[in-house]
Amino acid sequence: MEEIMAYTVLVADDEAEIRELLRLYLEKDGYQVLEAQDGAIALSLMEREEIDMVLLDIMMPKMDGYHVLKKIRENSNIPVMILSAKNHDADKILGLDLGADDYLAKPFNPMEAMARINSNIRRFYSLGAKGKELKQLQVKDLKLDTESCIVYQSGQPIDLTSVEYKLLRLFMEHPGRVFTKQQVYENVWGEEYAIADNNIMVCISRLRAKLSEDSGAYIKTIRGLGYRMEKE
């Protein structure tokens, strides 16, 4: 079973070759990847997407990595690793002082980069740096109480099976994120993914029917990719 549960990494670098190299290695390890070729696009993605870690180049057009890092730290404490050709101690100290969690000089070994990425992700999320688990999750008119394991829609409880509850909780914890069938199966059923498409589809279909007559009102099928819970 995958250890990485659909973490999303933003690669912000103006060099297309660097972005493509990192995407190749990140996706091989099970991460979802977003790309930005300049600082302005990076910040725009941060506002629109749920991102778990940022790989940040310093020398980018429109807005350099230092300014992007300062903006990120105004609202978020997610892991940020700087990837930069500026490898003097003063550059590293500045990056770390501004809030970076790690600093890797270019050119770098992609295997070392992946080891550091995995380490930062593991340390941050396994130690609960994001904060205590939320007792209540809310998306649209749905509220999920993680202590009582009850889901309410517009204040009324919904009768769900244990699998339906686990499915809904997975989606509500990550609204807007696409989960592949494999990721859904392994996180909800807790087993290695086999050929279980029908099982997943049936359970999601039943859950959708309990939530709305419109099958895509809450959980949307993304053709060729998987499923996503709509944020709004």
pLDDT in tens, 75-88: 888 889 999 887 77
Q: Could you give the CA distance from residue 123 to residue 79 in angstroms, rounded to a whole number?
A: 9
pTM greater than 0.75 (yes/no):
no
Alpha carbons within 13 angstroms on the beta-carbon side of residue 26 total 25
Q: Are 12 and 55 in contact (CB under 8 A)?
A: yes
Q: Could you give the CA distance from residue 49 to residue 185 in angstroms, rounded to a whole number?
A: 23
Q: Could you give the CA distance from residue 168 to residue 63 in angstroms, rounded to a whole number?
A: 39
The predicted-structure confidence for 106-139, as pLDDT tens digits, reads as follows 899 999 999 989 888 887 776 554 444 456 888 9
pLDDT at 65 over 90: no
With bands split at pLDDT 50, 70 and 90, how would you rate the model's confidence at 186? confident
The predicted-structure confidence for 155-178, as pLDDT tens digits, reads as follows 999 988 888 898 999 999 888 888
DSSP assignment, residue 205? H
pLDDT at 127: 53
Q: How many residues in total does the chain contain? A: 232
